[in-house]
């Protein structure tokens, strides 16, 4: 095992790695992109029998950089550093964690903004419409590339949780346990509606040009305002009241919530690509395990691993009842599934905030996995 440099509560991680697919990647809807690159990161060490790998699935706009810092000077560690690390819920003392940048995302994997070698121009509108199945299949290619026969756990929150459930449906034999937080088998209509409105905002931006904007101005304002809509879906009414209420910015008539939304929108539009946002969010809305398999029970019929499903009472994007429905289906097929509704004011974002609340059930699941192995 290589030495690990600790930096405060975080650690020094490896740079991103890239799986090159010279023969390309074929999308579920039929098109292909050739060549295709999948960006991923790994944390901790794979053990000798390759049995300690955890796949972490990221949400809408995150990246493969799930934990650690590349250099001690990095301002922030990876997006789930509160959960992944030495002694943390996904414990790198014992586990090897993999996070793969989603198909369609602009964080290293071949994306709409990537240059099409055939034309010398970015794919833009020519980039295929992605599905969650595409994302899971790309993750599986990385897992195979790493020579891992079976994952100890697949986990994630929000869109990450949806990938987790798709793993259990598509590759039931490859997964020993699933941990899904703040996500379900489909986005309920309220979330779909807000997502659709967000995409309309981007697509209505004068600069969007159907997605072929790379050679002119980018649809920055559209992406900013769409992100504001997205941000609202992550916040509970309680969090909005507590953090902002009707307060005005000091010395101005601007509402604090207005200033906050502008800040979030601007920050996001500087870092993320509008086409990637549209593609990945549409994939999230289109996924519907019941629609694909007929029933959730049929979808999970072959899955024999363990399951931990966590909902947050103030999450209105994925209300607890939606998560509980998945648990009920898993149990109905005989899966050892645990469901937990966590009380928190932090809404959908709780999986990125309330580490003290989500760590214990995760550790408990790993203890049970260890125990059943020992037997």
Tell me the catalytic residues. Answer: 158, 315, 348
Task: Tell me if 221 contacts a copy of itself by CB under 8 A.
Answer: yes
Q: Which of 240, 301, 332, 357 binds a copy of itself (CB under 8 A)?
A: 240
Considering beta carbons, is residue 185 or 358 the nearer one to a copy of itself?
Answer: 185
> Pick from 324, 325, 334: which is nearest to 295 by CA?
325
Residues that bind a copy of itself (rule: CB under 8 A) add up to a total of 36
Cα-Cα-Cα-Cα dihedral sign, residues 237, 241, 242, 243: positive
Please pick, from the candidates 64, 102, 148, 228, the single residue that binds a copy of itself as defined by CB under 8 A.
228
Cα separation, 191 vs 208, in Å, equals 23
Q: Print the SS3 string covering 178-240.
A: EEEECCCCECCHHHHHHHHHHHHHHHHCCCCHHHCCCCCCCCHHHHHHHHHHHHHHHCCHHHH
Chain residues 78-107 in contact with a copy of itself, contact rule CB under 8 A: none
Measuring CA to CA, how many Å separate 352 from each of 133, 158, 356?
A: 24, 10, 11
Where b means 16+ CB within 10 Å and e means fewer, 160-172 reads bbbbbbbbbbbbb
Q: Which is nearer to a copy of itself, 56 or 186 (CB)?
A: 186
Which of residues 14 and 29 has its CB atom nearest to a copy of itself in the complex? 29
Q: Is 245 in the site for a copy of itself (CB under 8 A)?
A: yes
Q: Does 325 bind a copy of itself (CB under 8 A)?
A: no
CA-nearest of 110, 106, 11 to 66 is 11
Select from 222, 305, 320, 347 the one that contacts a copy of itself (CB under 8 A).
222
169 three-class SS: helix
The residue among 200 and 267 lying less far from a copy of itself, judged by its C-beta, is 200
Residue 348 is classified by DSSP as G
Stretch that binds a copy of itself, among 62-70, 98-106, 163-171, 190-198 (CB under 8 A): 190-198
Distance set, CA 194 to CA 11, 204, 225, 281, 312 (Å): 37, 15, 12, 11, 19
Residue 128 binding a copy of itself, by CB under 8 A = no
* Placement of tokens 């993999």 in the chain: 98
Window of 35-43, 137-145, 232-240, 339-347 that interacts with a copy of itself by CB under 8 A: 232-240
Please identify, among the stretches 50-58, 135-143, 167-175, 225-233, the one whose residues bind a copy of itself according to the rule CB under 8 A: 225-233
Stretch that binds a copy of itself, among 40-48, 137-145, 148-156, 202-210 (CB under 8 A): 202-210
State which residue, 94 or 207, has the beta carbon closest to a copy of itself: 207
Instruction: By CB under 8 A, tell whether 189 contacts a copy of itself.
Output: yes
Range in contact with a copy of itself (rule: CB under 8 A) among 7-15, 46-54, 70-78, 185-193 = 185-193
Q: Which of 175, 201, 278, 296 binds a copy of itself (CB under 8 A)?
A: 201
Q: Quick check: bond before 35 cis, omega within 30? A: yes
From the list 55, 113, 138, 186, which residue makes contact with a copy of itself (rule: CB under 8 A)?
A: 186
Encoded one letter per residue, x for contact with a copy of itself by CB under 8 A and - for no contact, window 267-306 reads ------------------x--x--x---------------
CA distance between the termini of the chain: 27
Q: How far apart are CA 222 and CA 206, in angstroms?
A: 9
Rounded distance, CA 199 to CA 165, Å? Answer: 25
Residues forming the site for a copy of itself (CB under 8 A): 186-190, 192-194, 196-197, 200-201, 204-206, 221-222, 225, 228-229, 232, 237, 240-241, 244-246, 255, 257-258, 261, 285, 288, 291, 316, 319
């Amino acid at each position: 095992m290589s030495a690990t440099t600790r930096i405060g509560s975080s650690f020094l991680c490896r740079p991103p790695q890239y799986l090159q697919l010279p023969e390309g990647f074929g999308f579920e809807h039929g098109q292909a992109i050739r060549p295709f690159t999948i960006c991923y990161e790994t944390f901790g060490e794979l053990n000798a029998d390759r049995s300690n790998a955890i796949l972490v699935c990221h949400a809408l706009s995150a990246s493969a950089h799930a934990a650690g810092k590349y250099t001690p000077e990095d301002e922030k560690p990876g997006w789930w550093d509160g959960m992944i690390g030495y002694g943390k819920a996904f414990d790198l003392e014992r586990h090897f964690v993999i996070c793969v940048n989603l198909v369609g995302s602009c964080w290293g994997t071949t994306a709409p903004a990537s240059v099409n070698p055939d034309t010398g121009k970015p794919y833009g509108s020519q980039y295929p419409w992605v599905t969650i199945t595409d994302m899971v299949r790309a993750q599986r290619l990385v897992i195979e590339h790493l020579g891992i026969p079976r994952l100890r756990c697949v986990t994630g929150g929000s869109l990450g949780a949806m990938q987790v459930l798709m793993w259990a449906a598509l590759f039931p034999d490859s997964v020993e346990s699933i941990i899904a937080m703040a996500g379900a088998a489909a986005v309920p209509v309220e979330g779909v509606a807000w997502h659709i409105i967000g995409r309309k905002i981007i697509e209505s931006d004068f600069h969007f040009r159907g997605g072929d904007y790379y050679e002119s101005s980018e649809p920055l304002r559209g992406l900013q305002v769409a992100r504001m809509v997205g941000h609202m879906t992550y916040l509970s009414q309680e969090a909005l009241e507590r953090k902002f209420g009707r307060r005005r910015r000091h010395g101005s008539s601007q509402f604090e919530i207005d200033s906050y939304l502008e800040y979030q929108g601007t920050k996001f539009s500087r870092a993320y690509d509008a086409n990637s946002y549209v593609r990945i969010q549409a994939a999230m809305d289109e996924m519907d395990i019941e629609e694909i398999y007929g029933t959730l029970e049929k979808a999970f019929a072959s899955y024999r691993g363990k399951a931990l499903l966590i909902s947050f009472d103030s999450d209105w994007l994925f209300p607890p009842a939606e998560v509980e429905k998945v648990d009920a289906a898993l149990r109905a097929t005989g899966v050892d599934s645990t469901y937990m509704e966590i009380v928190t004011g932090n809404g959908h974002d709780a999986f990125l905030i309330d580490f003290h609340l989500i760590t214990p059930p995760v550790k408990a699941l790993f203890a049970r996995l260890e125990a059943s192995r020992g037997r």
